Amino acid sequence: MRVLVITGAGVSAESGIPTFRGKDGYWRNFDPAKLATPEAFARDPELVWEWYRERRQRIRNAQPNAAHAAIAKLAQHADEFLLVTQNVDDLHARAGLAKQNMVQIHGDIFVTKCSRCDFRRRDYEQEQRDVVPKCPECDALMRPGVVWFGEQLTWDELQRIESYLDRGPCDLVIVAGTTATFGYIIDWALRANRHGGGLIEVNPEETPLSQFATRLVREPAAVALALLVNQLIEL
């Protein structure tokens, strides 16, 4: 089995991490889609950092759920496996999925990087001292090491996805817990499923991807993925 799984915020929802869109997505009346932008950071870096610090703390206190565990289990049973996640949390990794089987296309929330030079660190302790940390190399403001709206995806991460897709079609594609807002999500899912192996969407709501799915599972990811993966492994 050659498998591609694509996940979004809905997969971490049952771990208590709010999704971006929908009623739980708002933070202090701010729309996350407007806070996760270079413009918001330029206008009010303190506010953006406050939001990211709170999210980091929430993620540290959270535990992977049955959906993360099911995906890690599926990876162990597949001959070839890649997870492409839009989530910046570390719950897939903490559920046991190996780094080489995963691409975090929107980055890692625990990385802090300079807004000007190449300086970047994971779990950078120094930043705790200042509301808005400054770069030790060039003194510019530091920012969370994630991809914001309107920014390019990282070339290296994109290449990993491209080379996985180029190596051949998948026998199974699962897309779970994402509004599939970005065209590249749909594009990757369709390219992976180009020989019609099967494209399963796990999401309580309809999305732009639903029309292309060969199977729709309209249930929360933790319940649905645990069942689905057990069925697939038995097969």
Count, residues near ligand OAD per rule CB under 6 A: 28
Catalytic, 68? Answer no
Find the catalytic residue in 68, 77, 92, 106: 106
Q: Which of 68, 92, 106, 143 binds ligand OAD (CB under 6 A)?
A: 106
Residue of 203, 209, 213, 229 interacting with ligand OAD (CB under 6 A): 203
Task: Report the alpha-carbon distance of residue 197 to residue 194 in Å, rounded.
Answer: 8
Contact range with ligand OAD by CB under 6 A, out of 41-49, 52-60, 89-97, 171-179 = 171-179
Does residue 205 touch ligand OAD according to CB under 6 A? yes
Cβ-based nearer residue to ligand OAD, 133 or 177: 177
CB atoms within 10 A of CB 176: 24
Burial label, 153 (beta-carbon count in 10 A; 0-12, 13-18, 19+): middle
User: Per residue in 3-22, is it b (16+ CB within 10 Å) or e — as a string?
Assistant: bbbbbbbbbbbbbebbbbbe
Chain-centre distance for alpha carbon 50:
21
Short-list 3, 169, 174, 24, CA closest to 80: 3
Contact between 145 and ligand OAD by CB under 6 A: the answer reads no
Our finding on whether 20 is near ligand OAD (CB under 6 A) is: yes
- Binding region for ligand OAD (CB under 6 A) out of 5-13, 40-48, 153-161, 208-216: 5-13
| Residue choice 172, 207, 213, 232 for contact with ligand OAD (CB under 6 A) | 207
* Candidate residues 3, 36, 93, 135; the one interacting with ligand OAD per rule CB under 6 A: 36
Record the tokens describing residue 115, joined without a space: 């807004």
Half-sphere exposure of residue 26, counting CA atoms within 13 Å on the CB side? 5
Interface with ligand OAD, residue 86, by CB under 6 A: yes
**Burial label, 132 (beta-carbon count in 10 A; 0-12, 13-18, 19+):** middle
Query: Residues in the site for ligand OAD, rule: CB under 6 A?
Result: 8-10, 13-14, 19-21, 25, 33, 36, 86, 106, 147-149, 176-179, 181, 202-205, 207, 220-221
Return the active site residues.
Answer: 106
